[in-house]
Structure 1
Amino acid sequence: MRRLRERKGLALEEAGALVEISKAALSRCEKKERTVKWPAVDVLCCECGASGQVRKTLVELAKGSAHERGSPCTSGRDRRGRHSAPGRWARSHA
């Protein structure tokens, strides 16, 4: 993801704002220190112009991370078990 973001010329702040996560959280995701919701990965791939295969691979990796870790960050639900939605950008461009 970092290579895609940098190739597009997006700063961490800009990319994070697209999916409503902090610069620090996105940085940790790029370093594989934290998982991220797959819809956020999908939005970032689209914004960064990833090819269909790269986008599919990254989204599948994000989905796999959610199932392996059972992480509330990636499961589509928040810590209280409520469904979480992708960021405003994703909703407005769906």
Structure 2
Amino acid sequence: MIRGPEQTLLEPAVLADFECHHQNQAREAFKKLERILTAMIIPALGQQHPISKDLYAQLDNVKLGSQNFCWRHRYIGYSYGANEVGGVR
């Protein structure tokens, strides 16, 4: 970490292949939750209900805050998962 008088610059974070794999799993679990909320819960409440609006906002916050679960590194996680399934490791 580099510190200046008014700012802090962090070094890049490094994710291992298994960590990317776990991000892929988290993304898939999130998609299931999102489908349940958008197909069943929110329509039951009504699109204009304050809770529905908050649920939509929270779904967006999770995607943005997690950078969609490290989407751009998903292939590293997929290759790790394939090695685990194939018994190479």
For the superposition of Structure 1 and Structure 2, which TM-score range results when normalised by the shorter chain?
0.3 to 0.5
Question: Which structure has greater helix proportion?
Answer: 2
Highest Rg: 1 or 2?
2
Normalised by the size of structure 1, how large is the TM-score? 0.31
Question: Which structure has greater strand proportion?
Answer: 2
Normalised by the size of structure 2, how large is the TM-score? 0.32
